[in-house]
Amino acid sequence: MDFSVESATATVVESFRDTRDPRLRAVLESLTRYLHAFVREVRPSLAEWNQAIEFLTAVGQTCTDTRQEFILLSDVLGVSMLVETVNAQQTGTAGTVLGPFHMTESPPRALGDSIDLIGGARRCVVSGWVTGGAGEPVGGAQVDVWQCTEEGFYDVQQPDLQPPGNGRGLFTTDDDGRYWFRTVVPSHYPIPTDGPVGRLLEATERHPYRPAHIHFLVTAPGYEELTTHAFVAGSPYVDSDAVFAVKQSLVVDFTESHDESAAAAFGVATPFIHARFDIVLQERL
Amino acid sequence: MDFSVESATATVVESFRDTRDPRLRAVLESLTRYLHAFVREVRPSLAEWNQAIEFLTAVGQTCTDTRQEFILLSDVLGVSMLVETVNAQQTGTAGTVLGPFHMTESPPRALGDSIDLIGGARRCVVSGWVTGGAGEPVGGAQVDVWQCTEEGFYDVQQPDLQPPGNGRGLFTTDDDGRYWFRTVVPSHYPIPTDGPVGRLLEATERHPYRPAHIHFLVTAPGYEELTTHAFVAGSPYVDSDAVFAVKQSLVVDFTESHDESAAAAFGVATPFIHARFDIVLQERL
């Protein structure tokens, strides 16, 4: 039987019948159905289809060891956030996207160390407790953090200006489940706009900015892995994140503190900016 | 309002509200809806999403000046053929996919010239009439043809073994709408399997073969452009083309001829293989 608009999807779905991995088969069948339905709805001209091929090719070819343009595309289409959301833990701290900058390993650091290796101006302490759902402290949890500078750049974007590992640290909570580290207040920043995803945003009159945030990836034995951000309250674009990652429960006050005893405990001088971000993990079932 | 599985699609669709080009806006809205529906249905894990990102990145990075892996991916998912089909002319010769090998310009040649520059064994003449829907001859039509060798390779795949333009020719029909050229009978062949699309076919136990065919791209003023193939009747895989491009009306007999007067007219010796492939264009509305 000839390939037709009506028979196309069944024909292609049938071609996957011998796939060994049942999950792969189910994903490809679903992909075929939705992709074909999209084509039937928009009826792209051959010139438009060619533009799409060229766009996707350019996205792939923009990727390097330190840049992931396909994650960026997934981000601006809300797909990354949707995948995160369907996988999110049902209790505890809300999750959000991993983002494209978790591409190097964060250097292990001691509690209280600074992840600001270049001497930024707005010195800051971030601290919190990692607990389970019943409030039990989670000692020995790995708290991986990464953030941009006060100018809005990650280390991998400025290899000539920042040492590797600037803005990154892998901390381990103490027996009480506490973590704390020194840093600078990160800036809001544009996602990279000099590639095909930037051209897409420009053509759709969307701004490329993300509100200021610090990334967290928290793991502990017996608990679900948590990927999230602490967003800086009051940051520009906190209501219109280009990658849709803001959740209200993740917006954290970064406030100036004159508390001498807290400053002494954290090893900083007053005044300092303090952000408290507690993390609640969900037990693995 | 927080991004949620329920609100995600509306939020992302809304982000495209200021897009200047209404067609681009409509395509992106539709893409968002189908892509999100796919994600909601398959609920990919973060590891699976990451595999998809890596796969698409590899597809982009496999593309070169002479290889288009994203077209190949579109082909094996039946998307290329579906796009061709929704754009197909309603009357006249059936269309089929362009394929990934129309990447260099075919050299202009005189009627009767050979496109086989390397002296293949099964010498062949392809001839036909280009007409409009009412049977009127279309003189001056451009008939662009390209094909692989008897070993199943296009010139661009074997730059060290084939001169550029081998298997390719741009012919112009005479006043009676006739075209004819000399060639060899092409072979069935596998699409390139050493890249990510090849790995996809292997994982799904799909063979990579296309039945033997000659590509045609026919243009004439006042008529719709036609992209099609002449398939060699009896070729292996004519019932299971890896890219779904076969239509029964495009399957053509390549038969041995002992007709001395025909041989003289075509400038060949008997016996020769003869294929007749008439082409009916649709008037442009």
One pLDDT digit (tens) per residue for chain B, 285 residues: 688 889 999 999 999 999 999 999 999 999 999 999 999 999 999 999 999 999 999 999 999 988 899 999 999 999 999 999 998 877 899 999 988 788 788 999 999 999 999 998 889 999 999 999 999 999 999 999 999 999 999 999 999 999 999 999 999 999 999 999 999 999 999 999 999 999 999 999 999 999 999 999 999 999 999 999 999 999 999 999 999 999 999 999 999 999 999 999 998 999 999 999 999 999 998
Torsion of CA A267, A268, A272, A273, to 10 degrees: -40
Question: Nearest CB to B77: which of A35, A37, A85?
Answer: A35
A70·B57 Cβ contact <8 A: yes
B97 touches B81 (CB < 8 A): yes
Chain A nearest C-alpha distance from B12 (Å): 6
Nearest CA in chain A to B98: A46
pTM value? 0.89
From chain A, the residues in CB contact with B239 under 8 A are none
Are B155 and B168 within 8 A, CB to CB? yes
Tell me which residue in B27, B203, B206 faces A15 most closely, judged by beta carbons.
Answer: B206
Query: Do the Cβ atoms of B203 and A24 come within 8 Å?
Result: yes
Q: Are A16 and B204 inside 8 Å of each other by CB?
A: yes
Asked whether residue A62 carries a pLDDT value surpassing 90, the answer given is yes
Q: What torsion do the CA atoms of A238, A241, A244, A247 make, to the nearest 10 degrees?
A: -10
Judge whether B186 and B214 are in contact, CB under 8 Å: yes
Torsion angle defined by CA atoms of residues A40, A41, A45 and A51, in that order, rounded to the nearest 10 degrees: -100
Q: What CA–CA distance (Å, rounded) separates A248 from A266?
A: 27
Mean pLDDT across A21-30: 98
Q: What number is the ipTM of this complex?
A: 0.89
Q: Tell if the CB–CB gap between B53 and A41 is shorter than 8 Å.
A: no
Chain B residues inside the 8 Å CB shell of A57: 60, 63, 68, 70
- The phi and psi torsions of B33 (rounded to 5 degrees) equal -65, -45
| Residue of chain B nearest A26, judged by CA positions | B42
Which residues of chain A are within 8 Å of residue B12 when distances are taken between CB atoms? 77-78, 244
A78·B3 Cβ contact <8 A: yes
Average pLDDT, chain A: 95
Residue A10: list chain B partners with CB under 8 A: none
pLDDT band for A154, please (50, 70, 90 cuts): very high
Q: How far is CA A210 from the centre of its chain?
A: 11
* pLDDT on residue A88: 84
Cross-chain residue pair B8–A245, CB shorter than 8 Å: no
CB pairs under 8 A between A and B: 215
Q: In this predicted model, what pLDDT tens digit does every residue of A97-145 receive, in sequence order?
A: 988 788 788 999 999 999 999 998 889 999 999 999 999 999 999 999 9
pLDDT at A104: 81
* Partners of A272 in beta bridges: A257
pLDDT at A208: 97
Mutation target to probe the B interface, by most B beta carbons within 10 A, among A19, A79, A231 is A79
- Using CB atoms, pick whichever of B30, B61, B204 lies closest to residue A63: B61
Nearest Cα to Cα of residue B167 among B211, B220, B103: B103
| Mean pLDDT of the region A66-87 | 94
To test the contact with chain B by mutation, choose from A6, A53, A84, A228 the residue with the greatest count of B C-beta atoms within 10 A, namely A53
- What are the structural domains of chain A? 8-64 (no CATH), 79-280 (2.60.130.10)
**Measured torsion, CA atoms of residues A67, A69, A70, A73, in degrees rounded to the nearest 10:** 140
pLDDT value at position A1?
66
**Residue A17 binned pLDDT confidence (cut-offs 50, 70, 90):** very high
- β-pairing verdict for A213-219 and A251-252: unpaired
